Structure 1
Amino acid sequence: MLDVGDAELAYVESGTGSPVVWLHGSGPGATGMSNFGANLPAFEDYRNIVVDLPGWGRSPRPVTDEPLIFHAADRVLRAMTALGIERAHLVGNSYGGGVAMRIAMTHPDRVDRLVLMAPGGVLPPDAPPWPIGLERLFGYMAAAKPSREDMARFVRLMVYDETLATDALIDERYESSLRAHPELPIPPNFGDLTPDLAHIVAPTLLVWGREDQTVPLTWAPKILQGIPDAELRVLPNCRHWVQYERAPEFNHIVREFLRGGATAAATKE
């Protein structure tokens, strides 16, 4: 646990090298390690900081009227400072992608490179209605006593290959959701990052599952066009949990990008 002034953040640290901060999504039962634990062995040559964002995992639920993305971004910045990290790569999934973007907008000097998997915080003008993945997420959050089957229905929608929605994964997420079930308005006030996309100066890689039913690929162009130095990779036969469902490809793409390969190649062209 890390003291960040008015809150505590749980985190896991592994590896040595340039720092990478990993920021998870807002789904029920989400934690830093449930989102990224399987990816870390491919990044042992980096100093990995895997955070439980406020109100998820082992990090206590905050009392705040701030938009959740804004609140979490400030606490992650404080955590970086407490850990002696002046500057880091940020890897964010969904809600965590929104948190990463907010940090890059407000403190560009603290961010090297930005990897965003179907990030939150930028909505199309016609939302709601919500994609089915967000409907199930909000429905689970609103339930007084969500069931394991509710969790199973949610997890199956996160992956294209439903055999990856194993009983062990469903049980882990369900038990975690009961330990830290955020009491939030539905839909939560995540905050709107749209007006400040142009303030992101870090080289940015967007990674999207083509069949994502939670933050659909049709939402990507607004972010791709709004961030000055952004590129997009789309993985077919893949839904919202890109880093889990297509882990080998994800690890390879991200490692190449963090080393500067993708941006260097684009510059030569």
Structure 2
Amino acid sequence: MVKTVDVGGTHLAYEESGTGLPVIWLHGSGPGATGMSNFGNNLQAFGDYRNIVVDLPGWGSSPRETDQPLLFHAAEAVSAAMTALGIERAHLVGNSYGGGVAMRLAVTEPERVDRLVLMAPGGVLPDDVPPWPVGLEHLFGYMAAETPSREAMAAFVRLMVHDESLATESLIDERYRSSLAAHPELPIPPNFGDLTPDLPRVRAATLLLWGREDQTVPLSWATRILQGIPDAELRVLPHCRHWVQYERAPEFNHVVREFLSGGVTAAAAEG
């Protein structure tokens, strides 16, 4: 059930499930993205956590009215939502754009962030772009279209997964319908904001997850983040593109649960 929380003159939409330590799930910036479309299939494995699955400003059911860099604005909204929901500190799990939002919050309010899980996060670009990777080309092209087509959405979704059988008709339809919701237009490419100078300020233990065949945020882009965040480790999943949590859900769930618990498995703890 979609709920809303006041974040200072506007609202943020979210869904909540489970009980326990809080985990905030932050989705990517692709057309039609919502919190539940990114993470709905993972939540059952995290029922012993308090899961807050957010629609970031300008996506899903959350409005956007800002001239700020998108990552900066979204991080402020997430922080305000945490305060309104009585959450002092949480784990953050962020996919792509949402990973950049998580990093920004870890920089500006480190006391509020426990552990970071970042799947091919945005906000940190190499020096040699553009040209953009093919996935980002499709993303920006879809954003720029006056009337985007379902065929363009299908092409975008297929680029997100290595196994194209996972790009189901129902998923394409869901993302296409959501993408048609009216939100303020963005410049192309959008002003996401640059997190590169602030990476050394991230104090949280950080797990980077990357699909080896990612065509949207390529694996080669991981180096700058891995070297910039003091306590970062990288896990690469083969036969996987940009949607790690969707395409490799069982492995994702296992690895993330282990990391959020401090990296110690139950068997090791008992031994």
TM-score bucket (shorter structure): over 0.9
Number of residue pairs aligned between Structure 1 and Structure 2:
262
In structure 1, what is the equivalent of residue 13 of structure 2?
10
1:155 to 154, 157, 170: 157
Partner of 2:34: 31
2:23 aligned counterpart, secondary structure? strand
Q: CA separation in 2, counterparts of 1:182 and 1:253?
A: 37
- CA gap of 1:180–1:191, structure 2 versus 1, over 3 A, is same
Aligned equivalents of 1:180 and 1:41: distance in 2? Answer: 31
Q: Deviation digits for residues 11-38 of structure 1, max 9, x if unmatched?
A: 0000000000000000000000000000
Distance 2:24 2:161 in 1: 24
Alignment partners' CA distance in 2, 1:180 and 1:215? 26
- Provide the rounded CA distance (Å) in 2 between the counterparts of 1:259 and 1:67: 33
Q: Show the counterpart of 1:227.
A: 229
Partner of residue 46, structure 1:
49
Deviation at 1:63, TM superposition (A): 2.0
Aligned equivalent of 1:106: 108
Partner of 1:11, secondary structure, is strand
Alignment map for 1:78-227 (pairs within 5 Å): 78-180=80-182, 183-227=185-229
1:56 matches 2:59: yes
User: How far apart in 1 are the matches of 2:93 and 2:224?
Assistant: 19
Partner of 2:75 in structure 1? Answer: 73
Q: Which amino acid aligns with 1:3?
A: D
> Residue type of the partner of 1:34?
S
Letter of the 2:27 counterpart: H
The Cα shift of 1:183 comes to 1.1
Deviation at 1:57, TM superposition (A): 0.2
Is the contact between residue 28 and residue 177 of structure 1 (CA under 8 Å) also seen in structure 2? Answer: yes
Contact 2:65 2:184 in 1 (8 A): no
Return the alpha-carbon distance in structure 2 between the equivalents of residues 75 and 148 of structure 1. Answer: 31
Higher deviation after alignment, 70-79 or 253-262: 253-262
CA distance in 1, matches of 2:31, 2:105: 23
TM-score, normalised on structure 2? 0.95
The answer to whether the Cα contact below 8 Å between 2:212 and 2:239 also exists between their aligned partners in 1 is yes
Q: Percent identity, aligned pairs only?
A: 81
Q: AA paired with 1:40?
A: L
Q: Is the 8 A contact 2:161 2:247 kept in 1?
A: yes
Structure 2, unpaired ranges of 5+: 266-271
SS of the equivalent of 1:233 reads strand
Distance 2:128 2:263 in 1: 37
C-alpha separation between the residues in 2 aligned to 1:158 and 1:181? 23
TM-superposed CA distance for 1:206, in Å, is 0.1
Output one character per residue of 1:170-207: Cα deviation in whole Å (capped at 9) or x when no partner. 00000000124551000000000000000000000000
DSSP 3-state at the match of 1:9: strand
Distance 2:184 2:204 in 1: 31
More off after superposition, 171-180 vs 159-168: 171-180
- Deviations, residues 34-77 of structure 1 (Å, cap 9, x unaligned): 000000000000000000000000001x2211100000000000
> What amino acid is the match of 1:142?
A
1:220-259 aligned within 5 A: 220-259=222-261
Please give the alpha-carbon distance, in whole angstroms, between the structure 2 residues aligned to 1:234 and 1:148: 31
| Counterpart secondary structure, 1:173 | helix
